[in-house]
Structures are given as C-alpha cells and as structure tokens.
Amino acid sequence: MIRSIRARVTLLLMLALLVCVVVFAVGIWIGRKDEAYYRELQRYVESQSELAIRIIMQAEARGPVTVTRDSLVGAQLVPEVASVMEVIPDYLMVLDTAGRAVYVSQKARALPPGDLTSLQESALNSEPGTSARLLTLRSDQIFLAARLENDPTTPIERIVAGSSTNTTEALWLDLLRSMLMLAPIVLVTGGVAAYFIGGVAVRPITTIITELEAITDGRSLHRRLGGADAQGDELARLTSTLNAMIGRLENSFGGLRRFTADASHELKTPLTVLRASIERAMMARRGSNEQMEYLEDALNEVTRMADLVNSLLSLARADEGRFDLVRDVVLLDSMLRDIAETATILGEPNGIAVVMSECEPLTVEGDAPRLRQLLLNLVENAIKYTTVGGTVELSLASENGSAVLTVKDTGMGIAAADLPFIFERFWRADRARSRGSGRGGTGLGLAISQYIAQAHGGTLTAQSRLGRGSTFTLTLPGTVRREQSRPETSPPRVA
Ligand SMILES: Nc1ncnc2c1ncn2[C@@H]1O[C@H](COP(=O)(O)OP(=O)(O)OP(=O)(O)O)[C@@H](O)[C@H]1O
Ligand SMILES: [Mg+2]
C-alpha cells in the first residue's frame, strides 16, 4: 500500500500512459489490413498497370515494341521500352497474345523459381479489368491487377501489375517497434512530470499538515494556519474550516483550563482552613481515642485533597503558560543528598535501602523548589512501588554538558504496554491494587514532574521491566561542575 498521494498520482499516470500506448499499438495492429488499406492498394496497382499500358502505347507509336532475338526465349520487349518499364518498382508482367511473358520486372525476376511460375500462372488466369485479387506465394503476398491492351494490331495482350502487401506490413511493424521502443521513454518522462506535478499539488497540503502538527501539540492553539485568504480554492476552504475548528477547540480548552484553575484556587482556602481546624481540634486532645482516630483520618484525607488541589493548580497554571520559574543557581548534589535523607526515612518502615552510587558536584540554573518537588516525586514513587527489602539507587553525573540524575529502584516495575502512559494526568497502573495496598495517589506526580523538566529545557524519561524495577532519568542542560566544594545547601527562596 503506497502511503504518499504524490507516489500514487505518479504511478496512476504512468499506468494510464502505459494503457494508452498498448491501446494505440493494438489499434494499429488490428487496423493495419482493413478495407481502406486494400482499396488504397488496389488503386495503386491499377495505376501501375495503367502506367505500363501508356508506356507501351507510346512506344508502339514509334515502332514495334517486341523483338525476337532468341527463338527459345521467344519475343521480348525492345530494350528501350524495357528500360522505361524498369521505373515501375513493383511486380510487373507483360504477356503477349500467346500468353508468354515478354517482360518481367526486376522484382518479379528476383522471386524464387516456384513463386515466379505461380505468378505467371496467376497472371495468365487473371480476368482483365476486374478488381484486383490477392495471391499468396511462399515468399510474399501480392495484390494483383490485370489490364488488357485493346489494340489488336500489337502482340501485347495483357499487363499484370502487383504490389507486395508485406512491404506495408513491414512498415506497420516498424511503426509498432518504434512505439514499443519509445514506450519506456514516454513512461519515464510522464512519470517524472507526474511526480513533479504531484509534488506541486501536494505541497500546500504538506504545509498545512506541518503547521497543524505544530498547533495541535496542545500548547499552541492560539496560532492559526496561514494562507486562508489565498485564491479561494479548495485548500483555502480547508484552511479556513480547520482554523474555525482550532478556534472552537481553543475556546473549549481555555474554558476547561480556567475552570480547573479557578476551582482549585477556590478550594485551596477552605481546605487550608479545614486542615487547621482539624489540627487545632486534635491538639486540644479533648475527645476519646476513637474521636482522635476519626480526626486523624479526616486530617489525612484533607491533606491528600490539598495535595491534589495543589497539583491541579500547578498543571492548570502550566497549561495557561504561567509555569513561571524563579531561576537561581541550584547545587544539584546537595539537593540530591537531602532527597536521599528523606528517602531513607520514607523507606525505613519497609526496609528499603537508599544508596547513592555517584554524586558529582554539579550546579544548574533552575528553580530549586520545583526541582526538589520533581526529585521528591520520583523518590516517593520509587519507595512506594518497591516491595519490602528492595533498594533505591540515586545518582548524579554530567554528560555532554547536561546533568543526568537517575532514580533506580528494584520494585514492581511497569509493563511495556503501560510505559507510554505513565506521564499522562490521572494515569495509574492497576488502580484497584494500588489503592488496596496503601499505594494511594492521584496519578498527577509524573505529569507535574515532566512539566518541571520541560520548563527547565530538560527531559524526563522512564525505563522499566515488569517485576524487575524502574529507572527514571532526568536530564538538565547547561550544567557546571564545581571545582571547589561550596556550602552544601541550595540558596533559599521564598515560594
Ligand atoms: N518507580 C515506579 N515503579 C513502578 N511504577 C511506577 C513508578 N513510578 C510511577 N509508576 C506508575 O506510574 C503511575 C503514575 O505515577 P504518578 O507519580 O504520576 O502517580 P501516583 O504515584 O500514582 O500518584 P501521585 O500523584 O500521588 O504521585 C503510578 O500510579 C504507578 O502505577
Ligand atoms: Mg507518584
């Protein structure tokens, strides 16, 4: 199946050209011996015999036209008349009253003996004046016409002219052969022309596709396709229809984003108040143990909801292009050490060891709290999805001017079919199991992490094998290696 329209147009045109050449050739071959052709040939041989008669009549006016030099051979045309007759190129026979040939043209003389005899017999038996007829010899196929010499005083009685039908057939064959030889050239030239024309025709569509791909990457819906006012042709209509569609998409996406941002923003304050109230109630320690447990559950859920609302707000802001970074020099190695400490505490209940395999002294221009949030997300996941007694390995190294941070675990891993979706919002593998096993979550952590990585011009990728563990790799460009050790804390920042 050919996918490109250009290639399809080229092939179809070449096929059409091939069909035309074949139809033309077959037409020529079938029509080579039709009625009109025989009528034409008949007219020709009759005119040849007329010409011969006229030559003889003119010669007779000057004297006898035959002479007998050899009694064995019999009478022959006198040489002067014979040489005039030689101008007639085809088959020609002049017979005397006794039915003997007094002149045989050069072409007839060149016939093989058997064919010459047949021609002579046929000439004798031809009915003069009637229409021409076909005579098939072994070496040729001849169209014959006979004429009578009307003057009874001369020894000449019958003149037979003939023309080979094979000569014209050879002409047709020549024509066919040249057509077949020309066919590949016609096909190649036609193909090149079609490829060029196809390219010109498809180019605007390719431009539209490229522009559309750039617009529909999710963050450029404010842009529109160019060339909408060009010529008012089909492509201009397609462009303006697509532009209208992008406009509607922009409106609905915008509405959705605004709603998420507004709703999360509005929810933030009551949740903070709720959380503070529960904490205050717990601090008073006035209730029974049972009541305290209820309050603790409520606090956990409110904290979870507040985290969710915060994540939603971050993503909504990122969608609106308001994911502003406050850039500063970030000491990646000390940040990773802090994270490792937190990870060790988080992993302790499940006996998960946290090791640091490599930690180069690297700095990068970036937003420290955001990067910390990113690394914490990765480490939390690594601990959360690793079973008892597993290991989480952290590393930081520089590669081609970029800082490469990896978080590797020996946990449950991610199925190959799930891997492409893990950075999508609200996506969680095997939801039911993770909820039951205490591995709750919103499915927003990696989506936010990827936004943070991209906002820093970096990438966040995952490699994983089900049951074997996962490795998350964060690459941040523009890293600098510190020669001397500096204070091991990142510069503080007010969020
Ligand atoms: N290290 C890991 N090992 C195995 N699976 C993982 C790992 N990290 C992420 N996943 C899978 O990817 C899904 C998405 O991760 P993500 O961090 O976005 O969400 P979450 O951890 O479920 O919730 P939260 O928003 O609280 O972080 C997880 O639910 C889990 O199925
Ligand atoms: Mg997570």
| Interval between CA 448 and ligand 2 midpoint (Å) | 10
- Ligand 1 atom nearest to 427, measured from its CA: 14
Alpha carbon nearest to ligand 1 atom 31, residue: 429
Task: Give me ligand 2 centre to Cα 446, in Å.
Answer: 6
What is the distance in angstroms between the CA of the first residue and the CA of the last residue of the chain? 57
Residue 404 predicted with pLDDT over 90: yes
For the chain, domain boundaries:
1-211, 234-319, 328-481
Give the ligand whose atoms come closest to the C-alpha of residue 434: 1
Residue 49 corresponds to which amino acid? S
Token pair, residue 278, equals 């529960």
* 322 Cα to the center of ligand 2, angstroms: 23
The alpha carbon of 441 and the centre of ligand 2 are apart by a number of angstroms equal to: 6
Quick one: CA torsion of 199, 205, 208, 209, rounded to 10 degrees? -90
| Phi, psi (degrees; rounded to nearest 5) at 479 | -90, 155
Question: Ligand 1, closest atom to CA 431?
Answer: 29
> What CATH architecture does domain 328-481 belong to?
2-Layer Sandwich (3.30)
HSE of 22, CA atoms in CB hemisphere, 13 A: 6
Q: Is residue 294 over pLDDT 80?
A: yes
Pocket probe for ligand 1: among 435, 446, 464, the residue whose CB has the most ligand atoms within 8 Å is 446
Instruction: Choose among 31, 36, 51, 33: nearest CA to 167.
Output: 33
The packing angle between helices 165-215 and 5-30, to 10°, is 170
Which ligand has the nearest atom to the CA of 311? 1
Q: Give the ligand whose atoms come closest to the C-alpha of residue 444.
A: 1
Residue 418: predicted pLDDT: 92
Side chain identity at residue 157, one-letter code:
E
pLDDT of residue 458: 96
Q: Tell me, in angstroms, the distance from the centre of ligand 1 to residue 308's CA.
A: 14
* Domain 234-319 annotated CATH 3.40.50.1370: no
Confidence of residue 494 (pLDDT cuts 50, 70, 90): very low
Q: Which of 309, 385, 412, 451 to mutate to test ligand 1, by most ligand atoms within 8 A of the CB atom?
A: 385
Task: Decide: 412 and 387 in contact? Cβ < 8 Å.
Answer: yes
pLDDT digits (tens, 9 = 90+) for 174-203: 888 888 888 889 889 988 998 898 888 888
The reported pLDDT for the residue numbered 397 is: 96
CATH class, range 1-211:
alpha beta
Q: What's the pLDDT tens digit per position in 228-270?
A: 555 677 888 888 899 999 999 889 988 888 888 888 888 988 9
Ligand 1 first shell, C-beta below 6 A? 377, 381-382, 385, 409, 411-414, 422, 427-429, 434, 441-447, 470
- Rounded to the nearest angstrom, the distance between the alpha carbon of 377 and the centre of ligand 1 is 9
What are 17-46's pLDDT values in tens digits? 889 888 888 887 777 666 777 788 888 888
What is the distance in A from the centroid of ligand 2 to the CA of 190?
Answer: 60
What pLDDT score does 122 carry? 84
> What are the residues whose beta carbons fall under 8 Å from the beta carbon of 204, sequence distance 6 or more?
227, 235
Closest residue by CA, ligand 1 atom 27 = 445
Q: What's residue 433's pLDDT?
A: 47
Atom 9 of ligand 1: nearest residue by CA position = 381
Distance 443 CA to ligand 2 centre (A): 6
Residue 453: left if φ>0, alpha if ψ -120 to 50, beta else—which one? alpha
Mean of the per-residue pLDDT values for the chain?
Answer: 85
Is the pLDDT higher at 218 or at 98? 98
* 3-state SS class at 334: helix
What integer is the mean pLDDT of 53-75?
81
- pLDDT for res 495: 33
**What would you measure as the largest C-alpha separation in the chain, in angstroms?**
161
* H-helix segments, 353-462: 368-384, 431-436, 445-455
Ligand nearest the Cα of residue 380 is 2
